[in-house]
Chains A and B, each alone.
Chain A
């Protein structure tokens, strides 16, 4: 589903990603962990082309992200094309980023109705099902500001799912939440993983990685230090830096 080949990312003189290789199979859950500043979030944002990569290649579902290959040249995509590529990739943000001027229901309907031109009735029907799935069927008329952080994040998940994505990206989805609200969001994500969604999750929740992760990727300083089955990596880290990091978070 995702194939990153020695991806580099530079912000001016700042070299954030230094050759990331990552393969995520369909239906897999990959967890990106590592200290802050290690490039996890940047990597995630590169995958749906919110950031342009500086070197390497990045394929999602066999399609090169952000460029068109012609011979040995890379052509920049028209924004319209880039937008089309992003439709199949859902993203959930650390700070939810719900649209505050729309009700919960309209947050979920907006993209399918406007981007996919789905009929209003169908979009509403889908939205209600998704809200039910994340346990917020009774909140559809509320505005985001009237919900708790955990509820907002579950709406954000429903909003991303409404586009029927093939891949879901989660950028520290529980980091901005009160500890007691983390569980409800993780439960929604676990449910999604069990339903077979391909997911890439930047997280500090090692319990989640152990329970539903197929792959744990430990990043530090813009490189992948260690990757493998989460249970193995967490129980028996090979690299010193992984050991040092895990000893602090576990």
Chain B
């Protein structure tokens, strides 16, 4: 050995590149191989881009698309109001769905046979009937039960609401969507809870933690990693399912507003495109949110380190030995 080789400092590519001399053996330099050529990918990309350009050109020059109508209505007050109603419906329905879904999932996993049975029957009914039927039912709810009374059962009532006078279409739409969603969320949450190892519950129990504390602090936070991706799916799906609220009948959401406008104009295509643009825009925002939520709940789930953590670790090893493992 001519000179000492300090392998641990060879990580810096630029420096080792400069230092390369004819006397250096291959083992002393980082490999810089010529990447494999992949002509197939280029050809496929060119073909797809060409097809796409053709389609865009065709659509832009085809008068039947009525792009002027599209532009005119894209930011129309009625459309944006409708989009806002759709967002609100999605929010409240998902909130109800998630809260009730967690409750149902926990009920199914307790050893209380009564709660288990109730949860099972709920799932059976709400997953077993179409959402459109359920929404229609909630719309007819006020004809079944004209008054909501609070009081002593079989005795005098203390407080009463007349459901038929109440302008409650929005409320019933949220209720219908949310109750249906809860059944699906319950299964997602149950799968998440089941994915957390038994050892976790055991460790928590051995520490004297109660069942509910174990659920809240140990099991559910870990279950989130499994729960979030399908919940994101449900959220996006809910955004679009809100277009069914016409069954209640609520007609102020994005889809039904555009339907009303196009009914007057006799131009369904541009208005459908307007609605699609809005749905797509909202979905895109939701996808970004989901990405960050997933990252947040992935904490500690993998030994793989992010770029920032790797850098911290490298600094720590190279430097004075300050702990680099804590870059969580």
Residues of A whose CB lies within 8 Å of any CB of B are 48, 50, 79-80, 83-84, 86-87, 89-91, 93, 95, 97-103, 110-111, 114-115, 138-147, 159-160, 163
Query: Quick one: given A80-B210, A100-B222, A160-B207, are A139 and B199 in contact (CB under 8 Å)?
Result: no
With A101-B300, A160-B207 as given contacts, are A114 and B328 in contact (CB-CB < 8 Å)? Answer: no
Q: What are some 16 contacts across the A-B interface (CB < 8 A)?
A: A83-B205, A87-B208, A89-B206, A91-B203, A93-B206, A99-B200, A99-B222, A100-B222, A100-B301, A103-B300, A110-B217, A111-B207, A142-B323, A143-B300, A143-B328, A147-B325
CB-based contact A101/B222 at 8 Å: yes
Query: How far, in whole Å, are A102 and B219 apart by their CA atoms in the complex?
Result: 12
Residues of chain A within 8 A of B221, CB atoms compared: 101
Q: Are A79 and B326 in contact (CB under 8 A)?
A: no
CA A48 to CA B204, docked complex, whole Å: 13
Query: Is B209 within 8 A of A99, CB to CB?
Result: no
Q: Mark B207-239, 1 if CB is under 8 A from A, else 0.
A: 111110100011001100000000000000000
Contact A99 B203 (CB under 8 A): yes
Extra inter-chain contacts (8) besides given A97-B202, A115-B208, A160-B207, CB under 8 Å: A83-B205, A86-B206, A86-B208, A91-B206, A101-B300, A101-B301, A111-B207, A115-B207
Residue of A79, A97, A103, A139 near B200 (CB, 8 A) is: A97
Q: Which B residues lie at the A interface, using CB under 8 A?
A: 197, 199-200, 202-211, 213, 217-218, 221-222, 297, 299-303, 305, 323, 325-326, 328
Closest to A113 in B: B217
Q: Would you call B206 and A79 a contact (CB within 8 A)?
A: no
Q: Considering the complex of A and B, which 3 residue pairs feature the smallest CB-CB distances, nearest first?
A: A141-B326, A87-B208, A143-B300
- Complex CA gap A140/B202 in Å reads 23
Q: CB-CB < 8 A to B199: which residues of A?
A: 93, 95, 97
Bound together, the chains give a CA A142 to CA B208 distance in angstroms of 24
Query: Which of B204, B217, B328 interacts with A141 by CB under 8 Å?
Result: B328
Q: Which of B208, B302, B323, B325 contacts A83 (CB 8 A)?
A: B208
B303 and A93 form a contact (CB under 8 A): no
Residue picked from A83, A103, A141, A159, most chain B C-beta under 10 Å: A83
Instruction: Report the minimal beta-carbon distance from A105 to chain B, rounded to whole angstroms.
Output: 10
Residues from chain B with a CB closer than 8 A to the CB of A142 are: 323, 325-326, 328
Looking at B204, B206, B301, which has the most chain A CB atoms within 10 Å of its CB?
A: B206
Q: Which residues of B contact A102 (CB under 8 A)?
A: 300
The interface residues of chain A lying within 8 Å CB-to-CB of B210 are 79-80, 83, 115
Give Cα A90 to B205, complex, Å. Answer: 11
Partner of A114, one of B213, B300, B301: B213
**Neighbouring B residues of A98 by C-beta, 8 Å:** 203
Quick one: closest A residue to B210, CB to CB? Answer: A83
CA distance A89 to B206 in the complex (A): 8
Q: What is the chain B residue whose CB lies nearest that of A105? A: B326
Query: Could you say which residues of chain A place their CB within 8 Å of the CB of B218?
Result: 99
Alpha-carbon separation in the docked complex, A79 to B205 (Å): 10
A102 → chain B closest CB, angstroms: 7
Residues of B near A141 (CB, < 8 A) are: 323, 325-326, 328
The reply to whether B205 and A115 contact each other, CB–CB distance below 8 Å, is: no
**Most B Cβ at <10 Å: residue of A86, A90, A146, A160:** A146
Given contacts A86-B208, A111-B208, A159-B207, contact A50 B202 (CB under 8 A): yes
| Bound form: Cα–Cα A93–B325 in Å | 24
Q: Which residues of B contact A91 (CB under 8 A)?
A: 203, 206-207
Q: How long is the Cα–Cα vector from A87 to B204 in the complex, in angstroms? A: 11
Q: Which residues of A contact B213 (CB under 8 A)?
A: 114-115
User: A138: which B residues are within 8 A, CB to CB?
Assistant: 323
B290 smallest CB distance to A (angstroms): 18
